[in-house]
Structure 1
């Protein structure tokens, strides 16, 4: 079963590049904060690179003005997330989180079987808004869709 509104985000270690590989715990990322977490099936994939991540890059300051942190999650390694971040001109402060083994994605119950495309298990395309580590809004895309997990849509919910 997938995470629901009112549930606490699971405690899982993720990776990111910040002066080397850094392990970050989801509790330290989300507890005591307002945050939007969006997930993409894969860095450098068409919709993720052309629409999803760019929507959050373009609207990053609008979230920050409301005191909301923004994080991008993908079942990729931290080096891929760093390269993707650089290629997309991701602003400082927009966290690029690597869930390389898919542990957090599985704990959320939002995994996607992309093995037909040679990608293994990935995250479904989704976005959630959490306050103090508790999910207040959750938008999961239907397969092949990109609508409700966009930055523009999330801004209407927070």
Structure 2
């Protein structure tokens, strides 16, 4: 199972002109180059019974595009369509769009963005958010979506490992993880 890495930082305190005991804070570090793709049976495609394990699927070349929500404006108008229509999409290997949504919503979204399925992009739901949590790419979007959601990201994978990481610094923007930046 995938274990998130942690950084520990010692912050010295100065009391009455001398250094006191160090204070340690720990913060999670999101997925990094070289990490294994989480080996989990929690992603679903088209129906709850159709489990997809990306650690097994991505033994060759591939790409995972993480989005905050199916049918949301930026996801539907620019981010995912940018990948679907990109001329270098076929060179990326297997391509998956993952969102903290149920499989029925993801299926309907796939049909709305790629009605004939010609792009080969597969849309996966992460209903429990466990895959996204394993990558340490969740953020609290309760005010907008009602729960924790995925940061917007793209991960280039090869042989079950993360080769390149593109995570939006503001969680939801479409810049760093845009198809033209990831695919060239």
Number of residue equivalences: 152
The correspondence of residues 96-135 of structure 1 with structure 2, limited to 5 A, is: 96-135=123-162
Larger helix proportion of the pair? 1
CA RMSD of aligned residues (A): 1.6
Cα deviation digits, residues 94-153 of structure 1 (max 9, x gap): 110110110100000000110021431110000010101111100100224211111111
TM-score, normalised relative to structure 2: 0.77
Cα distance in structure 2, aligned partners of 1:115 and 1:85: 24
8 Å CA contact 2:96–2:124 kept in 1: the answer is: yes
Q: Give, in whole Å, the separation in 2 of the partners of 1:94 and 1:142.
A: 25
In our comparison, the structure showing a higher alpha carbon Rg is: 2
Asked whether 1:22 is paired with 2:50, we answer yes
- Return the alpha-carbon distance in structure 2 between the equivalents of residues 8 and 83 of structure 1: 30
Assess if the C-alpha contact under 8 Å between 1:63 and 1:69 holds in 2: no
Which of 76, 79, 100 is matched with 1:52 structurally? 79
- The match for 1:86 is 111
Q: Which runs of 5+ in 1 are unaligned?
A: none
The answer to whether 1:145 aligns with 2:170 is no
Q: Structure 2: how far apart are the matches of 1:57 and 1:123?
A: 20
1:27 CA drift (Å)? 2.2
TM-superposed CA distance for 1:62, in Å, is 1.9
2:39–2:56: 8 Å Cα contact kept in structure 1? no
Unaligned runs of 5+ in 2: 1-28
Determine helix, strand or coil for the equivalent of 1:112.
Answer: strand
